[in-house]
Chains A and B, each alone.
Chain A
Amino acid sequence: MSLKMPYIRILVVGALICLLPLVLDTFYMHIAVLVLIWAFLACAWNIIGGYAGQHSLGNGLYMGIGAYTVAYLVNRFALTPWVGLLVAIALSAAAAAFIGWIVFRYALKGAYFALVTIALTEAAVYVVSNIPALGGAGGMQMEYRGNSLAYMQFAGQSGYFYMGVLMVVFILLLTQWYKSKRFFYQLIAVRENEDAAEALGVDTVKAKIKANVMSGVLCAVGGVFYAQYFLYVGPRSVFGEVVSVQILIYAIVGGLGTTWGPVVGAVLLVPLSEIARGQLGNSLPGSQLLLSGVVMVLTMLFMPFGIIGAVARLRQRWQHRSATPLVDSQGGEAS
């Protein structure tokens, strides 16, 4: 297989997806945009959670920083969201770097790391809820200023849809490109065995901080897009534990630390939960989160490596059975 193949695959799938608006009605276009938003966020989380193996339960913090920054700047100063995007990137990078520096310098891992990230994202909810300029507990509505790329606002859903496709294609290409780079190898080394990584010259603290910044900035970009699509931001809709968990569910179900896993997870789960919400939302509130919970439990019990991982394992087993071994089982020992 050519080295370019994975990139071509991303571009081809992206191009094919662009045909969807021709066949989808408004309800399904809305779901498609949501799929793209969550796929993007899950891909962003996958960098710190999947590749670096640091399971942040608080990436809503960065998504919220992005969403609130753009909403505030657009509302207060009537700036274009593109400027807001730049400010959001700068703020989230600073926050992710600072938090990463503190948390990883003190070597917090596993459950402790997860708890600190929850505490931070929950603290953000309470902070934002108490700032009147940010709309307090009620959040902020954003004004619709017309169908224009300059305002990052579109009349129908297809504008958001194409932007979402661009974003997801971008993050997939980025991930694929980084996969052959030193940085991602170092992240994987950190995930697999930190002591061994240090002994092989990997500055594990620095690698984790870099991953946190990259993941945080991309989550903020996702948050900007989220705010522009809904034209509303609220403390619990973009910060907080529930959103943070939602971000990572898709990555976990799809396959941690794989390029396509988060996308596969979002493609399968977002429509399911949106349809559940649409069909049962009034009679049975919470049905879509209940579904997420069930899927999470089943994934952990029966395919902890997610859908991509399960498929890869099946394929491997099948190949092992069909291929004649080129070397005997003692291969490594004969010298």
Chain B
Amino acid sequence: MVAPLFSSKLLLVLLFGTLFGLVLGVLPGLGPTTGGALILPFTMTLDPLSAIILLTSIYCAGTYGGAITAVLINTPGTPAAAATCLDGYPLAQKGEAGRALGMATVSSTVGGIFSVIVLVFFAPILANLAYEFGQPEYFALAIFGLTMLASIGDGSPIKNLIAGAFGILISTVGKDFMTSIDRFTYGINELSVGIGFIPVVVGLFAISEMLTQSTLLDQVFKRVALKAVKLPTKDDYKKTWKTILRSSGIGSFIGVLPAEGGTVASLIGYSEAKRFSKNPEEFGKGSVEGIAGAEAANNAATGGAMVPTLALGIPGSATTAVILTGLIIHGVRPGPDLFKEQPEFLYGIFGAMLVANVLFFIFGFFGAKIFARITLVPNKILWPMIFAVSVCGTYSLSQSIIDVWIMLFFGVLGFFMRRYGFSVVPVIIGLILGELVEGTLRQSIVIFDGNWLMFLTRPIALTFFILSLIALAFPLIRSKKNKKII
């Protein structure tokens, strides 16, 4: 599996991706999604395998990198590390920052490797199943993916659905791909080709975060000193091995479902670790089980999220939506045929993810202290630089200044969406699934000769529709318990 990686170029790409991912993960506000979107234009100079290896290594390392800032400055570097703060920072405050980071590093690595194994075994099975899928089944599957955003996505279920529908609506801008009729173009020629994925992602993640940072300039981080990262002791392993395995399973499963990937996985991993713990009272006060539960789960979601991305072309998280775009830009069509026609390409990706998990363990273990220093770069210097790269990166893909303005528009929109409790991730998922949803719906209607009820005669499609209904009903049931639906 790692044999295709034995080339100096690919190893270099993998090293760079892991280091870059760690830097992105450490910096609060950035992360693998934003970083992946920013680096996507640069991948145009690479061959497809190198490009996807770069993106996946950023994904794996970036997800882990968030834990370093979560433990040392009580600010998650990535949203997926939010649950790590709960016990990582209290443990660091007790003078055990090295132990906290050691546990985070080990559990992230185990979770990550576990999920790659899941990916290697389940992606081909899912791809084989996908041979049975026709247009109606793909439509039902895409609808199921979108409804899952409401069910297990982070935040309000209804707001997630609105954001998802908005994402699909964005995908309808431009010439209708079946009839070539302009939609929402308002006479602007540049909009005829539609709204690109990169301007929207960079806007919603990087530019909106820049605006968020402009409101937090008086925020002071309390930094905890770190001497060295320590490997967990025998006692720590005894305490946490079950938690790590459980969270790895939870994370991989959540990752496979199209939702917010690592963020949701880490929260569920953490709460399950607490539920099964013999010492639940220690949670929130510096429990190593809490750190292990959250970190194993969020890294396990990386491999899980790649399963539907590669097997079906349906992203499991926002970052895999960026990876999916990378695949499409480089002319690789994800789906069952990819497994049949280019297995060496897939083995390259699997191997790269495996090696990336080992690399971030080494870098994290020996270099966490150095990476933590990156957070010392002040926002007033960092963000203008990120802006420059965002603008040039967005411009470079189709060399259109309109794309830059679209990016700024989505930046402002993303800021207000977050301010009023709307997650931006469903917009990304909706945008990437939009063409699939509309295309398969219209083709299905042609197949069924306009008879919508024919959807119910297809067993696989019907199963997905029933699952979608369950996914929609689940938040209502859950809201009875915790009153959170809006």
The finding on whether chains A and B are genuine partners in a shared complex, rather than unrelated, reads: no
